[in-house]
């Protein structure tokens, strides 16, 4: 069983020689395996295709995918987007009283799932040439829990509230202040409670277009929660929120789910682990097909996803597992120092002040930078990068710094490859392609225009652009935002390998504990009071730094016995109390 998928955006029949048709062996024998439609783009017959892959290799724009589906996939499609379009198999089942999670890569059909469950899209069950009907859908799912859900949906008994993935689009859709937006949506009469729980007091009367990414994220979450609905969908709650805010939001969603059905897509595995009751793993080929598995226990689903093998489905979704180091990274002996910096401070007119302890940065190391939002992390890296002058203290070093900001914009009207080629002369070398472009999956974006990139695509290009510049130190502010689990793992490996191979120093500011854990050799911890003052501590070992950071947040992590991944302990649980008394908030049970 195979499917043929055509990427309509990439396909350029007016610019190519129709290689897919010219070289197809079945076409040469007289069959109409590939023919051209009204718009001049090829249509591939899946019944006649033998899966040789010649059209895939010959297409100059890489617009064709011929995919052999897993033998175990026997169920018919849930929905297909026309001839040679994306195919979705399976659906999650929202249930009142629990949080259902979806774990999978971007482009695997999560938006299609939400459109179906919200009633916006009537699934065609793979019969895209026929008109879809809810009667057929309800009959197809006879005897299942989702049949009851669809009946309620058709009868108008299900209202849907959705938090979008890309919050930067909110200011473009709404012109006004935060209070106006939230009061307009408040059907449940819980706005005042959420203003307090989400710390929105200081921004409630500010205009939406003045809010930072973290503030916009909390407003978007509040806007979703205040609506009166039976089904709530949260698409990525973690970007731009610090770990304390993430855990706070997770607790709010769990409270909401005591009476409502909640579906969450989240790529921060530590948060998904503590938030969800069950998880559906989504696998397949992004942009081609996606399969939603039956629900699994949270720990089982995450561990299977990390290992890359789903035993119940007998499917390998990744050639190699995503692994975590059991021990904190050891300090390398006789590592050369790149720079030493002394104490410095910066005072702003709004009253916020940052003070930094002195420290040293080593060649070839990756430093993690952690702390709450509004504590001065971005100010710290901008001072190091030379973008901001400190008020007291001097940074007496002369090094080149490449800086990726927290918020990236695709406002330059260039193709991705032209943009990257303008940054580095090494773009066309095999080294660049192997060390940066391929690991970050940039090659598939080369012909796209920067303004047309999604948030995750733009993030990967921004990381590549940062690493492309010739510098002594590379500072990346929240590189995990909008990346799925797979992309975060690949970005982590690319950054770490780049620093080691080139003996460059990398500094990564991020709130994803998994990414910091896999990436960092040492840690810079920020303390203080958000929006009032911040203190940047000297670089420390991972164990010392994480213990200091998590003790400030009153959170403990344990290690999963199977995968060694960090897992949040429930507050006041036996392990939580035991670790706090031992002063081991993160590496409990392992010796450095």
- Written as one string, the DSSP assignment of 415-456 is BHHHHHHHH-TTTTSHHHIIIIITTTT-GGGTTSBGGG--HH
Q: What are the φ/ψ torsions at residue 317 (nearest 5 degrees)?
A: -100, -5
Which 8-state DSSP code applies to residue 96?
A: B
Report the C-alpha gap between 163 and 185 in whole angstroms. 12
Cβ proximity of 5 and 289 under 8 Å: yes
Looking at the domain assignment, is residue 76 inside a domain? no
Q: Which of 141, 121, 117 is nearest to 132 (CA)?
A: 121
For residue 55, the enclosing domain spans: 2-68
Query: Same domain for 524 and 585?
Result: no
Residue 109: partners with Cβ closer than 8 Å, 6 or more residues away: 86, 88, 282, 284, 289, 290, 292
Looking at the domain assignment, is residue 19 inside a domain? yes
Query: Same domain for 449 and 584?
Result: no
Query: Same domain for 510 and 574?
Result: no
Cβ proximity of 266 and 236 under 8 Å: yes
101-141 tens-digit pLDDT: 999 998 899 889 988 998 889 999 999 888 889 999 999 99
Looking at the domain assignment, is residue 258 inside a domain? yes
Residues of the chain with pLDDT under 50: 330, 591-592
Q: What is the pLDDT of residue 171?
A: 87
Query: Same domain for 234 and 287?
Result: yes
Strand partners of residue 89: 291
Looking at the domain assignment, is residue 378 inside a domain? yes
Chain CA centroid to CA 120, Å: 25
Report the C-alpha gap between 521 and 547 in whole angstroms. 15
HSE-up (13 A, CA, CB side) for residue 568:
26
Q: What is the pLDDT of residue 592?
A: 38
Tally of structural domains, the chain: 4
Looking at the domain assignment, is residue 321 inside a domain? no
Q: What is the pLDDT of residue 302?
A: 95
Residue 180: partners with Cβ closer than 8 Å, 6 or more residues away: none
CB-count exposure of residue 560 (10 Å: 0-12, 13-18, 19+): middle
Q: What is the pLDDT of residue 23?
A: 94
Query: Same domain for 296 and 174?
Result: yes
Q: Which of 551, 555, 544 is nearest to 521 (CA)?
A: 544
Q: Hunting for tokens 């670790």 — which residue is that?
A: 579
Cβ proximity of 505 and 472 under 8 Å: yes
Q: What is the pLDDT of residue 326?
A: 61
29 to 8, 26, 59, 253, 500: CA distances (angstroms): 27, 5, 20, 59, 53
- CATH number of the domain to which 426 belongs: 3.40.50.300
Query: Same domain for 40 and 112?
Result: no
Report the C-alpha gap between 147 and 545 in whole angstroms. 50
446-455 tens-digit pLDDT: 988 999 888 8
Query: Same domain for 395 and 526?
Result: yes
Query: Same domain for 125 and 59?
Result: no
Query: Which of 268, 298, 316 is a domain's end point?
Result: 316
Looking at the domain assignment, is residue 546 inside a domain? no
Query: Same domain for 259 and 164?
Result: yes
538-555 tens-digit pLDDT: 999 988 998 998 888 888
Report the C-alpha gap between 338 and 172 in whole angstroms. 43
Query: Same domain for 27 and 168?
Result: no
- CATH number of the domain to which 40 belongs: 3.30.70.20
Query: Same domain for 487 and 438?
Result: yes
Looking at the domain assignment, is residue 338 inside a domain? no
Query: Same domain for 376 and 488?
Result: yes
Looking at the domain assignment, is residue 341 inside a domain? no
Q: What is the pLDDT of residue 198?
A: 94
Q: Looking at 227-297, list the stretches that DSSP marks H as alpha helix, in order from N- to C-terminal side.
A: 243-256, 269-275
């Amino acid at each position: 069983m195979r499917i043929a998928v055509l990427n309509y955006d990439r396909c350029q029949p007016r610019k190519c020689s129709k290689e897919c048709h010219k070289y197809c062996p079945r076409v040469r024998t007289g069959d109409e395996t590939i023919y051209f439609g009204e718009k001049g783009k090829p249509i591939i017959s899946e019944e006649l295709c033998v899966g040789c892959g010649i059209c895939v290799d010959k297409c100059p724009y890489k617009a064709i995918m011929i995919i052999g589906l897993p033998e175990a996939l026997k169920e018919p499609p849930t929905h297909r987007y026309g001839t040679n379009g994306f195919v979705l198999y399976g659906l999650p089942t929202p249930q009142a009283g629990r949080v259902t999670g979806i774990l999978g890569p971007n482009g695997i059909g999560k938006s299609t799932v939400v459109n179906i469950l919200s009633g916006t899209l009537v699934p065609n069950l793979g019969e895209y040439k026929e008109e879809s009907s809810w009667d057929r859908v309800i009959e197809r799912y006879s005897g299942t829990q989702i049949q009851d859900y669809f009946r309620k949906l058709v009868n108008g008994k299900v209202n849907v509230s959705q938090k979008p993935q890309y919050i930067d689009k909110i200011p473009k859709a709404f012109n006004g202040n935060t209070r106006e937006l939230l009061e307009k949506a408040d059907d449940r009469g819980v706005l005042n409670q959420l203003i307090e729980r989400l710390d929105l007091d200081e921004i409630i009367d500010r205009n939406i277009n003045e809010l930072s990414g973290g503030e916009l994220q909390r407003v978007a979450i509040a806007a979703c929660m205040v609506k009166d609905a039976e089904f709530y969908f949260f698409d990525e709650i973690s970007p731009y929120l610090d770990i304390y805010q993430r855990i706070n939001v997770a607790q709010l969603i769990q409270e909401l789910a005591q009476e409502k059905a909640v579906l969450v897509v989240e790529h921060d595995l530590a948060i998904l682990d503590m938030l969800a009751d069950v998880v559906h793993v989504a696998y397949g080929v992004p942009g081609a097909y996606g399969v939603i598995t039956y629900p699994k226990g949270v720990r089982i689903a995450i561990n299977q996803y990390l290992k890359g093998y789903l035993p119940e489905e007998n499917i390998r979704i990744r050639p190699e597992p995503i692994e975590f180091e059991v021990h904190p990274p050891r300090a390398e002996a006789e590592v050369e120092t790149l720079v030493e910096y002394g104490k410095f401070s910066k005072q702003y007119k709004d009253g916020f002040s940052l003070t930094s302890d002195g420290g040293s940065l080593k060649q070839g190391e990756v430093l993690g930078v952690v702390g709450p939002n509004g504590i001065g992390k971005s100010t710290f890296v901008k001072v190091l990068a030379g973008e901001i002058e400190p008020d007291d203290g001097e940074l007496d070093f002369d090094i080149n710094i490449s800086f990726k900001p927290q918020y990236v914009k695709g406002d330059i009207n260039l193709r991705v490859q032209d943009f990257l080629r303008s940054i580095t002369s090494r773009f066309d070398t095999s080294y660049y392609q192997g060390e940066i472009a391929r690991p970050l999956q940039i090659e598939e974006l080369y012909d796209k225009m920067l303004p047309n990139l999604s948030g995750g695509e733009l993030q990967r290009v921004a990381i590549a652009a940062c690493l492309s510049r010739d510098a002594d130190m590379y500072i990346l502010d929240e590189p995990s935002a909008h990346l799925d689990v797979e992309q975060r793992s690949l970005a982590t490996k690319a950054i770490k390998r780049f620093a080691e191979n080139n003996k460059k120093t990398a500094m990564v500011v991020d709130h994803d504990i998994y990414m910091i854990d896999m990436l960092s050799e040492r840690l810079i911890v920020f303390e203080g009071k958000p929006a009032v003052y911040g203190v940047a501590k000297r670089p420390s070992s991972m164990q010392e730094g994480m213990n200091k950071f998590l003790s400030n947040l009153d959170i403990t992590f344990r290690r999963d016995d199977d995968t060694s991944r960090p897992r949040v302990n429930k507050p006041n649980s036996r392990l939580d109390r035991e670790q706090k008394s031992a002063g081991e908030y993160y590496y409990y049970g392992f010796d450095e």
